Structure 1
Amino acid sequence: MSEWDVEGVELDAYFKRIGYDGPREATLPVLTALHRAHTGTIPFENLDILLGRPIEVDVPALQEKLVAKRRGGYCFEHNMLFSAVLATLGFEVRRLLGRVRMGHDEYWSRTHMVLVVTVDGREWLADTGFGGNGLREPIPFAEAESEQDGRKLSLVRHGDPQWILRVGRPAGWFDLYGFDEFPQHPIDVVVGNHYTSTSPRSPFTKRFVVERQQDGTCRTLAGRTLILTAPDGTVTEHPVPLDDIGTVLSTDYGIELSAEGLAAVRAAAERVGR
């Protein structure tokens, strides 16, 4: 029995949430279709932190939040749920931790989670939890370049961490995150999630970010700014009036908040300025 408890996954409800009605075999086409459906439907967001709610990463809590309540989450939430779905379907899954880089070289804490999935003896990098800048579908777990929806991606080996995922930008390759292949355990995810959701050093405790990728364009709501990143990396920014934040959350990301929750989000947006 695996130490990763995948009990609590309600496949029918999950498939309905992401709009998937295809086969349920452990094949590459199924993995690819599920990955695309998940990333195209469930947004990346950290709103509950600003609402004073704890972030839980056990499967029943994730099923309730991301599926039943139709909310989003960040990497630990997305990839813990997705890995449980995959394991239930019979996929072989490795959970790994990494460091967000976003163009920087310094060492940040291990606050990102990725998955390596084996299908017919071949490994694939899967990651449903890096928001609009991340993968839309799995890529070969090997040094190689890929293209998804007009975006160029590259997975390379590079010192410590051993692997770096990069995206093509007008100025060249841009590092998204790095990770190694050291085995991880559930407690490692719990610790990383606790730091990310509670530490005053974590960027997620200072401001909110909501993202989704649609037709290759990353749509990021960061405070009072809507940032659109085109497939070629070109960025445009649009101010969002405080009174319109609720509408943007609803129409662009499918997130409905209570009046109290929306007031808290608006206050956070006003406090940080963007």
Structure 2
Amino acid sequence: MNTVTIDLDAYLQRVGYSGTPAADLHTVKTIIKLHTRFIPFENLNPFLGWPVDIDLASVERKLVREGRGGYCYEQNALFRAVLQAIGIPVTGLAARVLWQMPAGHQPAQSHMMLCAEIDGTVYLVDVGFGGQTPTAPLRLEDSAAQSTAHGVYRIRNNEGDYLLETKISTNWLPVYSFNMKKQSAGDYKVFNWYCSTHPESRFVNELVAARAFSGGRHTLLGRELTYYPLTGPKTVVRLASPQDLCRTLTDVFDIQIPTGPDVDLAIARLFPVAESRV
């Protein structure tokens, strides 16, 4: 049996939760809303060529104490420990990412999310899918549309194979597919190794960040900052310099950026010399 060792008080302070959490739906909804606001999705470590440690002690130190964010293996490992600490049964699952992939694409499993039993109902819980992170728990055995503060989702079940979709305009688009097979720490170690080190991994090649706010979401891909308001068209800004990018990571995404020449060089690579202004 795994022993929960998370400092729950430190986590709740990090996300701005006040009061005493309970093992109920209201608490989980509130904490997910706060988590996705105050702990950003980001992949600075693999982008910089630094290791991504996903044991709970490392994740807690980075995301709770050092003012950083992380990607799915870090985000959902942390949140699994939070749910366990407040008395909610939770299982770690894995998904095949279909978001923005061509039709018919059959990718390997590469995403971690959670299944939790809350108030007698089973929910999909995921605080680590970047710009399409559901900002509320989703009822697993309910194929109807489910609204969250930042989007509408549905889960379709085909004999135990599930498909998460999100509604963009009038279209339902696939996010990821999954089943209910429980994943081990060893499974996640292999998945994380691929995502954080393989030369074809997007997390190695692209700088990505995302954060949800009361009025919408901000996402960053490379040097392109996009704001998706809850209503109305998106706005896109192409950042002009490494200094602009660092300010954006700090001010918009609330990331405590690590320092060092390797950090400066990695960020500078996003700004080709030919585009620099004298």
TM-score (norm. length: structure 1): 0.91
Q: Give deviations 1:120-148, integer Å, cap 9, x for gaps.
A: 32111110111231111101112221111
Which deviates more, 162-171 or 66-75? 162-171
Which deviates more, 248-257 or 213-222? 213-222
Counterpart amino acid of residue 250 in structure 2: S
Partners of 2:198 and 2:233 in 1: how far apart? 32
Q: Is residue 99 of structure 2 the alignment partner of residue 102 of structure 1?
A: yes
Q: Give deviations 1:89-124, integer Å, cap 9, x for gaps.
A: 211001100011114331112111111110232111
Q: Residue 85 of structure 2: which of 74, 81, 88 is its match?
A: 88
Which deviates more, 214-223 or 125-134? 214-223
Match of 1:245? Answer: 245
Counterpart amino acid of residue 30 in structure 1: T
TM-align CA RMSD: 2.0
Match of 1:181? Answer: 180
Q: Give deviations 1:15-63, integer Å, cap 9, x for gaps.
A: 1111111222211111111111111110000011122211011010011
Counterpart amino acid of residue 92 in structure 2: R
Q: Is residue 120 of structure 2 the alignment partner of residue 141 of structure 1?
A: no
Q: Is the 2:93–2:113 Cα contact (8 Å) retained in structure 1?
A: yes
Partners of 2:269 and 2:27 in 1: how far apart? 39
Using the TM superposition, give the Cα deviation of residue 269 of structure 1 relative to its aligned residue in structure 2, in angstroms.
Answer: 1.9
Structure 1 residues 150 and 70, CA, compared in 2 at 3 Å: closer, same or farther? closer
Counterpart amino acid of residue 50 in structure 1: F
Q: Is the 2:134–2:151 Cα contact (8 Å) retained in structure 1?
A: no
Match of 1:40? Answer: 37
TM-score (norm. length: structure 2): 0.90
Match of 1:200? Answer: 199
Partners of 2:45 and 2:213 in 1: how far apart? 23
Q: Is residue 7 of structure 2 the alignment partner of residue 6 of structure 1?
A: no
Partners of 2:239 and 2:192 in 1: how far apart? 29
Runs of 4+ in 1 over 6 A off after TM superposition: none
Q: Give deviations 1:201-245, integer Å, cap 9, x for gaps.
A: 211111110111213522111111112234469543211112201
Counterpart amino acid of residue 186 in structure 1: A
Q: Which 5+ residue runs of structure 2 have no aligned equivalent?
A: none
Structure 1 residues 120 and 257, CA, compared in 2 at 3 Å: closer, same or farther? closer
Partners of 2:144 and 2:168 in 1: how far apart? 17
Structure 1 residues 190 and 41, CA, compared in 2 at 3 Å: closer, same or farther? same
How many equivalent pairs are there? 268
Partners of 1:180 and 1:233 in 2: how far apart? 35
Partners of 1:264 and 1:157 in 2: how far apart? 46
Match of 2:264? Answer: 263
Partners of 2:191 and 2:60 in 1: how far apart? 20
Using the TM superposition, give the Cα deviation of residue 150 of structure 1 relative to its aligned residue in structure 2, in angstroms.
Answer: 5.6
Partners of 1:208 and 1:181 in 2: how far apart? 31
Using the TM superposition, give the Cα deviation of residue 255 of structure 1 relative to its aligned residue in structure 2, in angstroms.
Answer: 1.1
Q: Which 5+ residue runs of structure 1 have no aligned equivalent?
A: none
Partners of 1:163 and 1:184 in 2: how far apart? 16
